[in-house]
Amino acid sequence: MSAGTSRTPAPTRSTSRTSAPDRPGRVTVAVYAADPILRVGVVQQLRPRPEVDLFDDADAGRAQASLVVVDSVDDDVVALLHRLRHNSATRTGLVVGTLGSGTLQRVIECGVSAVLRRAEADQDRLLHLVLAMANGEGVLPGDLLGKLLTHMGGLQRSPLASREMSLSTLTTREADMLRLVSEGLDTAEIARKTSYSERTVKNVLHEITTRLQLRNRAHAVGYALRNGLI
């Protein structure tokens, strides 16, 4: 992928990369950006950090974390995200200028596990994003999560919503209950918090695990976190 021949973001070129076996414990990172200014900005933030090791073009496919840095999400960016999704060696994060709720759902479906606004992408937040991705965690700004849940709730209520969409997302009530599970609350505590009966709480959580073919509540929480749904 070359920024000179396509609008698709290309991986960063690092002149000081050391291969992963020489630096055990470091998270290997590839940075993709069609705009060289955006690429340089992220690379300069991450290069001094001892926790990460930047990979160049030749080794980008082996990076544990792939950061896609863009102003906005267009078809070229979506195509890149789809390609990265098929690489089991990496987890993908998005550093983006603007992102609406509908577009957020689109990038999550492309396998993006973490999102950070460019305006908030200082060194510490970029590092947190990379480390969270390497640990299999999802990262999403709180306001974007709220927009996503509202957007998906609208789709769930729409008669035009597809069955496939309902199988891969959560309603607002489901997300709220899973969030409380992730905080360590049991059925009775969740019932008190949400003003639902314990039977309803059990039914909702059972519906989530059954619909998404998950093993238990902990598995459901992990699924929702990985996909940025709570």
pTM of the model: 0.57
- C-beta neighbour count of 122 within 10 angstroms: 11
In angstroms, the CA 34 to CA 156 distance is: 35
82-126 per-position pLDDT tens digit: 889 888 889 999 999 987 666 777 788 788 888 999 999 999 999
Contact 53, 28 (CB under 8 A): yes
The mean pLDDT of 182-199, rounded to a whole number, is: 90
Of the chain, the percentage scoring pLDDT greater than 70 comes to 76
118-162 per-position pLDDT tens digit: 999 999 999 999 998 888 887 877 666 555 555 444 544 444 344
In angstroms, the CA 149 to CA 187 distance is: 22
Grade residue 7 by pLDDT with cuts at 50, 70 and 90.
low
pLDDT surpasses 80 at 62: yes
pLDDT of residue 165: 40
- C-beta neighbour count of 223 within 10 angstroms: 20
Token pair of 97 as six digits: 């200028």
Torsion-angle region of 155 (φ positive above 0: left; ψ -120 to 50: alpha; else: beta): alpha
pLDDT mean across residues, the chain: 79
Q: Among 151, 136, 131, 113, which Cα is nearest to 219's?
A: 136
169-183 per-position pLDDT tens digit: 678 888 889 989 888
Q: Where in the chain does DSSP place strands (E)?
A: 10-11, 27-33, 52-54, 65-70, 91-96, 112-117
